[in-house]
Structure 1
Amino acid sequence: MFPSLIISIGAFIAAAVIIITAGSQLARVADELADRTGLGEALFGIFLLAGVTSLPDFAATLSAALDARPDLAMSNVMGSMAANLVFLGIADIIYRKANLEHAAASSTNLMLAALLIVLLALPLLAIASPPVSLWGVHPITPVIVAAYLFGLQLVRSTDNKPMWIPRLTRHTVPDKPDTNLQGSLARAWLSFIALAAVTGLAGWVLMESAKVISDETGLSETLIGGLFTALATSSPELVTTIAAIRRGALTLAVSNIFGTNCFNMLVVASADAGYPGGSIYHDMAPIQMTWGLISILMTAILLMGMVRRQLYGIGRIGFESALILMVYALALGIVVASGYLAEA
């Protein structure tokens, strides 16, 4: 698509800026729609905002998979999930009143974290299983889709009829609908759809330029996908999470991250379905398992943090945020070292 390295780098930067700009507006529109539709921050973040902020990942990953680049495709989507979890740690640093996981306590978010661990384990099982496929798709792929749909039903029932609720403290920020909204519901939906289309298109341009950058520079696709495109396509989650926190929509901020990562498992399934060489799980480099394992570890740490609900920790952030930042830094070191070794 892009004829030279310079143009590709320019397109990559432009697409990343567009994704960040559109993402900063999504939180405002999503918070408004959550109040207007009556879904609430948690369910809107899971069912709608998560899908929209995942569009750059979906477009970029599917583009790489269709082009028979398994390492670039899987490192992008799996690296994005790890980056998203780090964004919760960054959000905790920004929110200074209390530990974010304490203030945004919700049984829905606990269920989402548990669902994410289950979903992340499935592609790892596919990688460890014999190289079989039916019509070019690994048998685990439809299981991922079914598990996601069943999990959403569990999440919805947990939100509608929780069997337990977290203890309220003076630092807990409940989801309270805003009654002083301006403009029409139709205008809000149009803005939401337009922002979704822009982020999806920018994600596709981002991956097309990343392919040229990888080819021209000689950098490994694992390094390009797991670091550069993963962070760029995940930027909507970061900006929407920070914007939601500034608006006081803490439940939306947390549910968007977990909901996006759960939705990204459908992106993994689509990559396997779109990959022309059979099952994508057995054609990618073993290093790709690192991102999946790291994401499981980070999700489990965050789950413990949400259950523990520490008020303050190191640097006025929760212990879970400090831990996931350290885990992610370690994972980056492993991936970067593996990328350089692959080049050598």
Structure 2
Amino acid sequence: MLAQWPMIALLAGFALAAAIIFFSGLRLTILTDRLADRTGFGEAITGGVLLGAATSISGTMVSITAALDGHASLAFSNSIGGIAVQTAFLAIADVTYRKANLEHAAAELANIFQALVLIGLLALPLSAMVLPEVTVFAVHPVSFLIPLVYAGSLVASRIVRETPMWHPVSTNETRDDVPEEESDAARKQLTLRLFAMFLVFMAIMGCAGWAIAKIAAEMTIRFDLSASLVGALMTAVTTSLPELVTTLAAVRRGALQLAVGGIIGGNTFDTLFLTAADVSYRDGSLYHAVGMADYFWVVVSILMTVILMAGLLMRERKGPIGIGLESTLLLMIYAGAVVLQVIVLNG
């Protein structure tokens, strides 16, 4: 059906789906912050799990839909490309937070631990690439391992938060995770209702993600574009808009741990796209059906995560240009990777 759509209709449909994802993500930030206070899990864990999963739902649908349609490169690069751009979004949030370096003010051990887990999860598709193309029901064994590691990290993150073995030094710029006071009207709103609203917005974003996958696949074929290029720089950026919106909104609300945790948690959740895509891809191992242009973004994402984790540990108060040095490096690395992808890797 999309093959008969004129170009203007394809672009309009893509823009509409992107707008739906954008505004739904804004609403999800408010709901997640309130749920963090109601459940007592804290901003870092709630941001990493609830907000990370919710804002990633559209990207999940893109990878699954692309894999089902046989577009392995689009499915893979959408997942990994999203991790890179979302990490760059955290640097943009640092630019908007003028009191101090965001990674300094949002000191939280759970976020550092999740960044470490993310590096390990990103190493798994690299290991699949160098291992033989062995599959179980057309699914590579690494795809079974990724969700197990992810689930274990959630349990470990809760332990790290509840019984930490060390604490970050508190400074005048450190913003502690303190539950907000709610009005009587807000208090009457049941937590169950908040979760219901949360799920509704997730469903809306999932539908928008499905539409983006279909339109992106059609544009790839129609204009003979590289699937890796479209996945890493088009669908990944578009479906990552909720992370940008929610991060900036969280910083504005003073929920700094939620902002950082939402990005790192979303990135960790995005590795599950690979499992979902590999299961959906019926022509063998997804990891052996993609090329070096796709794995390029795995290396970029690992490098950016290492720099982010270093920033969370060193906690520089102010960088040379008003933002953290790690934020400057993140923006430079991502911009350089985009240039390499467009000019070098895709000719």
TM > 0.5: yes
Alignment of 1:250-265 (within 5 A): 250-265=256-271
Which of 115, 124, 127 aligns to 1:125? It is 127
* 1:338 Cα offset (Å): 4.5
Q: What aligned pairs does 1:278-317 form with structure 2 within 5 A after superposition?
A: 278-317=284-323
Q: Deviations over 1:280-324 (max 9, x none)?
A: 110112111111100000000011111110000022111100001
Shift of 1:81: 0.5
Which residue does the alignment assign to 1:48? 50
CA drift of 1:339 comes to 5.8
2:333 to 327, 334, 338: 327
Q: Which residue of 1 aligns with 2:174?
A: 172
Q: Secondary structure at the match of 1:287?
A: helix
Shift of 1:190: 2.6
Q: Which residue of 2 aligns with 1:140?
A: 142
Determine which of 203, 219, 223 is the counterpart of 1:217. Answer: 223
Q: Distance in 2 between matches of 1:40 and 1:153?
A: 14
Q: Does the residue aligned with 2:64 lie in a helix, a strand or coil?
A: helix
1:101 and 1:306 in contact (8 A); partners too: yes
Q: CA RMSD of the aligned region, Å?
A: 1.2
Report the counterpart of residue 58 of structure 1 in structure 2: 60
In the TM superposition, residue 165 of structure 1 has moved relative to its aligned partner by 0.5
Partner AA of 1:131 in structure 2 = E
Question: What is the SS of the residue equivalent to 2:240?
Answer: helix
Within the candidate set 67, 73, 76, 1:74 is matched to 76
- The normalised TM-score by structure 1 is 0.97
| Aligned partner letter, 2:272 | L
Contact 2:28 2:198 in 1 (8 A): yes
How far did residue 6 of structure 1 move?
Answer: 2.6
Counterpart secondary structure, 1:314 = coil
SS in 2 for 1:336: helix
1:21 aligned partner: 23
Shift of 1:42: 1.4
Letter in 1 for 2:149: A
Q: Which residue of 2 aligns with 1:158?
A: 160
Query: Any stretches of 5+ residues in structure 1 without a counterpart?
Result: none
Q: Which of 82, 106, 114 is equivalent to 2:108?
A: 106
Q: Which letter does structure 2 place at the counterpart of 1:97?
A: K
**Deviation for aligned residue 1:82:** 0.3
Corresponding letter in the other structure for 2:296? T
Asked whether the equivalents of residues 16 and 233 of structure 1 are also in contact (C-alpha less than 8 Å), the reply is: yes
How many residue pairs align between the two structures? 341
Which piece of structure 1 moves more, 26-35 or 188-197?
188-197
Q: Aligned partners of 1:335 and 1:225: how far apart in 2?
A: 11
Q: Which amino acid counterpart does residue 11 of structure 1 have in structure 2?
A: G
Q: Deviations over 1:32-51 (max 9, x none)?
A: 11112222211211221111
Q: Percent identity?
A: 43
Runs of 4+ in 1 over 4 A off after TM superposition: none
**Among candidates 261, 277, 282, match of residue 283 of structure 2:** 277
Structure 1 distance, partners of 2:18, 2:345, is: 23
Tell me the distance in 2 between the aligned counterparts of 1:79 and 1:208. Answer: 18
Unaligned runs of 5+ residues in structure 2 are none
Relative to structure 2, which stretch is displaced further, 62-71 or 187-196?
187-196
**CA-CA distance at 1:189 after TM superposition:** 2.2
Residue identity in the other structure for 1:127: M
What per-residue deviation string (whole Å, max 9, x for no partner) do you get for residues 232-266 of structure 1?
Answer: 00000110000011110000000011111111111
